[in-house]
Amino acid sequence: MENMANSVARIPNLVDWSTGEVRLMSAKCNSCGTYFFPKEHYQHRPGCSREGVEDVLLPSRGKLASYTVQHYPCPPPFKTEQKITPYGIGLVEFEAEKIQVAGIITDTDLKSLELGMEMETTTLTMYVNEEKQQVVTWAFRAVK
Amino acid sequence: MRDVYIIGTGIHPWTGFSEQVFADFAATAVDGALKDAAIEWTRIQSIMAGIFIYGGNAGHLSGQYLESIFGETGVPVVNVYNACATGSAAIRMAYNSVAAGETDTALAFGADVSPKGFLTAKSDNAVQDRDVIRWKMGGMPNPIYWALECTKRMAKYGTTEEDLALVKVLMSEYGSKNPDARFKKAYSLEEVLKSVYVCEPLRLYEICPVSTGAAALIITADPELIAKADKPVKINATTMGSAIYGDPTIRISALSCPAVAEAPMLSESYSASRQAYEKAGIGPEDIDLLELPDNSSWHYLVYLETCGFCGEGEADKMLRDGQTRIGGTLPVNPSGGFSSHGEALSAQAIWQVIECANQLRGRCGERQVEGAKVAMAQTYGLMGNSGTTILSI
Ligand SMILES: [Zn+2]
């Protein structure tokens, strides 16, 4: 993991790097077993008591369940200092948690992307803010 | 519940961005519907309006704005939003009011002016509005969602880039024959395959843009109005569906989806269509023509499966075999679809129903499906919204 001491997520409560690995901040319902991302995106099984929802971090690694390559800049409020197009967007599956999460793929060799390949969670620096902090989002990259 | 008929329809042709106000577009469509039904404005006993989300106070109260143009009569006016299925919600409310006997004659309408520039987040509160997260953190415009599903489909069922392009070829052929369509150029397969990628595997010509348009529908159970109408069209069912837990589709504005399917894909549309089949006592095998929401070429294919017109992964074959052409076993989108119109959010579901009604009334000229007796219009709205309407003559 890069030095993240001077990094801040553009929106809080989505991505965590306090454990030394970059991991997505999810929540698990201990009644119906469903994982949520973002953690406030509740999607309980009908009839669930909704008791015992706890914050959990998703594993750092998953498998590429789908992807696309975006050829045009995403309009505002998306914002990056560097031109990132074309960029990959992946759906990464966390098998045990039975959830797939979407995110930008930081790999630049987009031709090498393949369904099923192992991916790890990382961050993408979008811009530097007025406090000179690197403003990041979560992202994925192929495990080399 | 009483039998309910469509007696009047009106459309403002689809166009790009306009400086004209949405209420004027709405008025054009409503004028058309009144003229078609050959009734006075004062016969309208309730107004169900699809709201125009970018129109501020005026757009959120579109029914009141419309009513004041024609003359306020004190009737119930309800304004509704269900994303791209907004028009379906307006039709369903109008239908329920008339079928239940609350009112005899109702108006459903929607009008939208395409925003200048891009559709994007409508609030800045990431905790309550997930849409903010996908825009600020995800870099995910709407077609990304469709491309992610399309990639899965290609791997699972062998859908090819030619299949995706063929959808546009068909839609553009029909759009070129529809005076109300926005895009009237017919494209060859080669031209579509040469168009640039927006998000792979989807190309520029394989996704629909946002448009300006308006549509209005007058429905009634009044025997006098039905008797004097030109070919009244029966509404056999008009339903709304929401999503089902365990639907594996990644929904627009979401950042995640279930990895294990416990429900059908696009379950909101599965729900809406199955409710309609049940209520109407009409199944996919009885439908003579279908208007489905081809926001992208992927939608065209998957919707045939979602609505039960073929099994999973079989839509490509239906397309390749020509079954979905005018003259085939199930003509799909003889209007030219969203591909030739673009999305005019609150109006599009009503316009789809009007196309079906026009086909049943034999008014479609070069794109007419001969002898059509039963038609179905299917919508798709983001975050689990969908409507199905089945009509017959
Ligand atoms: Zn639960």
For residue B183, what is the domain's CATH number? 3.40.47.10
Residue A59 DSSP class: P
Is pLDDT above 90 for A2? no
Please report, for residues A86, B155, B380, the alpha-carbon distance to residue B383 in angstroms, rounded to integers and kept in the order given.
Answer: 27, 25, 9
**How many angstroms separate the CA atoms of B98 and B3, rounded?**
9
CA of A71, closest CA in chain B: separation in Å? 5
Give me the mean pLDDT over the A112-128 stretch.
97
What's the CA-to-centroid distance between B317 and ligand 1, angstroms? 40
Q: Across the interface, do A67 and B152 touch by the CB < 8 Å criterion?
A: no
Evaluate whether residue B136 is within a structural domain. no
Chain B positions in Cβ-Cβ contact with residue A41 (cut-off 8 Å): 130, 254-256
Evaluate whether residue B128 is within a structural domain. no
Residue B385 DSSP class: B
What radius of gyration do chain A's Cα atoms show?
16
Q: What is the DSSP string of B185-230?
A: ----HHHHHHSPEEETTEEGGGB--B-EEEEEEEEE--HHHHHHSS
pLDDT, position B130 = 87
Evaluate whether residue B173 is within a structural domain. yes
pLDDT, position B117 = 65
**Nearest by Cα to B151 from B250, B267, B84:** B250
Which neighbouring-strand residues pair with A16? A23
Q: What is the DSSP string of B283-319?
A: -GGG-SEEE---SBHHHHHHHHHHTTSS-TT-HHHHH
CA of A20, closest CA in chain B: separation in Å? 21
At residue B1 the predicted structure's pLDDT band, cuts being 50, 70 and 90, is confident
Chain B positions in Cβ-Cβ contact with residue A43 (cut-off 8 Å): 245, 258
What's the number of domains chain B is made of?
2
Q: Please name the amino acid found at residue A48.
A: C
Q: Across the interface, do B138 and A45 touch by the CB < 8 Å criterion?
A: no
pLDDT, position A83 = 94
Evaluate whether residue B132 is within a structural domain. no
Percent of chain B with pLDDT over 90: 92
pLDDT of B85-139, one tens digit each? Answer: 999 999 999 999 999 999 999 999 999 998 776 677 778 888 888 899 999 999 9
**pTM of the shown model:** 0.96
CA angle in degrees (0–180, nearest 5) for B251-A143-B137: 35
Shared-domain flag, residues B201 and B216 = no
End-to-end CA distance of chain B: 19
Evaluate whether residue B130 is within a structural domain. no
Evaluate whether residue B133 is within a structural domain. no
pLDDT of A60-89, one tens digit each? Answer: 999 999 999 999 999 999 999 999 999 999
Please report, for residues B258, B324, B351, the alpha-carbon distance to residue B305 in angstroms, rounded to integers and kept in the order given.
Answer: 20, 13, 23
pLDDT, position B118 = 66
**How many angstroms separate the CA atoms of A128 and A8, rounded?**
10
Q: Is the N-terminal amide bond of A86 cis, ω within 30° of 0?
A: yes
**Nearest by Cα to B306 from B338, B343, B261, B345:** B261
What's the number of domains chain A is made of?
1
Q: Across the interface, do A11 and B132 touch by the CB < 8 Å criterion?
A: yes
Q: Across the interface, do A45 and B245 touch by the CB < 8 Å criterion?
A: yes
Shared-domain flag, residues B224 and B202 = no
Length of chain B: 393
Q: Please name the amino acid found at residue B344.
A: A
Shared-domain flag, residues B181 and B330 = yes
Q: CA-nearest residue of chain B to A96? A: B259
Is pLDDT above 80 for B232? yes
Q: CA-nearest residue of chain A to B153? A: A66
CA of B217, closest CA in chain A: separation in Å? 35
Please report, for residues A22, A39, A123, B126, the alpha-carbon distance to residue A18 in angstroms, rounded to integers and kept in the order given.
Answer: 8, 17, 13, 22
Shared-domain flag, residues B155 and B298 = yes
| Pairs across A and B, CB distance < 8 A | 132
On whether any CB of chain A is under 8 Å from the CB of B21, the answer is: no
Q: CA-nearest residue of chain A to B196? A: A71
Q: List the domain range (segments joined by +) for residue A104.
A: 7-142
Q: Across the interface, do A137 and B260 touch by the CB < 8 Å criterion?
A: no
Q: What share of chain B is helix, strand, coil (3-state, %, to 5)?
A: 40, 20, 40
Q: List the domain range (segments joined by +) for residue B107.
A: 5-117+212-234
**Do residues B367 and B333 make contact, with C-beta atoms less than 8 angstroms apart?**
no
In the numeric block, which tokens belong to residue B284? 């996919």
Is pLDDT above 90 for B350? yes
Give me the mean pLDDT over the B359-373 stretch.
97
The residues, ordered by sequence, that sit 6+ positions from A108 with a Cβ below 8 Å of its Cβ are none
- Nearest Cβ partner of B139 from A11, A40, A74? A74
At residue B250 the predicted structure's pLDDT band, cuts being 50, 70 and 90, is very high
pLDDT, position B342 = 94
Antiparallel, parallel or unpaired: β B197-199 and B374-378: unpaired
**How many angstroms separate the CA atoms of A107 and A125, rounded?**
13
Q: By CB neighbour count within 10 A (0-12 exposed, 13-18 middle, 19+ buried), where does A129 fall?
A: exposed
Evaluate whether residue A2 is within a structural domain. no
Shared-domain flag, residues B75 and B198 = no
Evaluate whether residue A1 is within a structural domain. no
The residues, ordered by sequence, that sit 6+ positions from B224 with a Cβ below 8 Å of its Cβ are none
Evaluate whether residue A119 is within a structural domain. yes
The residues, ordered by sequence, that sit 6+ positions from B285 with a Cβ below 8 Å of its Cβ are none
In the numeric block, which tokens belong to residue B84? 């791209």
Chain B positions in Cβ-Cβ contact with residue A40 (cut-off 8 Å): 127
Q: CA-nearest residue of chain B to A43? A: B245
**How many angstroms separate the CA atoms of A92 and A67, rounded?**
9
Evaluate whether residue B373 is within a structural domain. yes
Residue of B120, B146, B256 to mutate, interface with A, max A Cβ within 10 Å: B256
At residue B212 the predicted structure's pLDDT band, cuts being 50, 70 and 90, is very high
Shared-domain flag, residues B37 and B160 = no
CA angle in degrees (0–180, nearest 5) for B244-B245-B249: 75
In the numeric block, which tokens belong to residue B335? 């209007």
pLDDT, position B48 = 98
CA B376 to chain centre: 11
pLDDT, position B102 = 97
At residue B159 the predicted structure's pLDDT band, cuts being 50, 70 and 90, is very high
Residue A77 DSSP class: T
CA angle in degrees (0–180, nearest 5) for B48-B42-B25: 50
Sign of the dihedral through C-alpha B163, B168, B169, B174: positive
Q: Across the interface, do B138 and A69 touch by the CB < 8 Å criterion?
A: no
Evaluate whether residue B341 is within a structural domain. yes
**Nearest by Cα to B331 from B311, B299, B309:** B309
ipTM attached to this prediction: 0.97
Is pLDDT above 80 for A127? yes
**How many angstroms separate the CA atoms of B330 and A56, rounded?**
49
